[in-house]
Homo-oligomer: A and B are copies of this chain.
Amino acid sequence: MTVTDGRSFIEEGAPAHDFFVVTGGRVKLFTLLPDGRRQITGFAEGGDFLGLAASTSYAFGAEALGGATLCRFPHAGMQRLTERFPSLEHRLREEASRELALMQARMTLLGRKTARERVATFLIERCSALHGSDVSQPVELDLPMPRTDIADYLGLTIETVSRILSAFKKEKFISIRSITHITLLMPERISMIAEGME
């Protein structure tokens, strides 16, 4: 199943019949308020599961971020599979647990961190998604999502995200080679900021 850029393939609140696995590209998950305010609750990429949080209806919407491919599994079929392979059930629970732990960290970010700390956390998060969490030397990052998405992910406005990236650049913590391509010059400093220790 292929989804083109910006195409929505899960509608928040729609009855949940399927379960997805991202096989290629990237996807963003979000919830909306009636007046259009949006919270991006996560990004998913190759190998990630989608729809674990689904009961009878989806608790989130999902949209491709620059083209993505997915595998769709109807719930009924999944149930047959888990009955046949009980270890799959275990795997799914592990996946859900990992996601839960991530979300707790993100709740702390949204509830208690300053804008500067949020952006720093985001950079470090991207960084350890790609490479390990080695924070001792410069790292090149690719930010495949537009600033709007970063803002909606961090609970900020696009202007604030932009301003803080500029500030980090002026402070020589990062260099911005192009809109999507950023180098962390001092990852350990950014990591400190992310944890609220400046």
Using CB atoms and an 8 Å cutoff, list the residues of chain A in contact with chain B. Answer: 29, 31, 33-35, 37-39, 41, 52-55, 59-60, 82, 86, 89-90, 92-93, 96-101, 103-108, 110-113, 152, 154-155, 195-197
Q: List 14 A-B contacts (CB under 8 A).
A: A31-B108, A33-B196, A37-B196, A39-B111, A41-B108, A52-B93, A53-B97, A55-B101, A59-B104, A100-B103, A103-B104, A107-B110, A111-B152, A112-B155
Choice from B92, B99, B107, B155 contacting A39 with Cβ under 8 Å: B107
Give chain B residues whose Cβ lies under 8 Å from the Cβ of A92. 93
Copies of this subunit = 2
Give chain B residues whose Cβ lies under 8 Å from the Cβ of A34. 195-197
Give chain B residues whose Cβ lies under 8 Å from the Cβ of A111. 39, 110, 152, 154-155
Bound complex: CA of A23 vs CA of B162, how far in Å?
Answer: 48
Q: Is B39 in contact with A112, judged by CB distance below 8 angstroms?
A: yes
A100 and chain B: residue at smallest CB distance: B53
A79 and chain B: residue at smallest CB distance: B90
A154 and chain B: residue at smallest CB distance: B111
A92 and chain B: residue at smallest CB distance: B93
A57 to chain B, nearest CB (A): 9
Known pairs A33-B196, A55-B98, A103-B103 / 8 extra A-B pairs, C-beta < 8 Å = A33-B108, A41-B107, A53-B97, A54-B97, A89-B89, A89-B90, A100-B100, A100-B103
Bound complex: CA of A55 vs CA of B99, how far in Å?
Answer: 11
A64 to chain B, nearest CB (A): 19
6 A-B pairs with least C-beta separation: A111-B155, A110-B110, A53-B100, A96-B96, A59-B101, A39-B108
Bound complex: CA of A100 vs CA of B99, how far in Å?
Answer: 8
Q: Is A90 in contact with B96, judged by CB distance below 8 angstroms?
A: no
A33 to chain B, nearest CB (A): 5
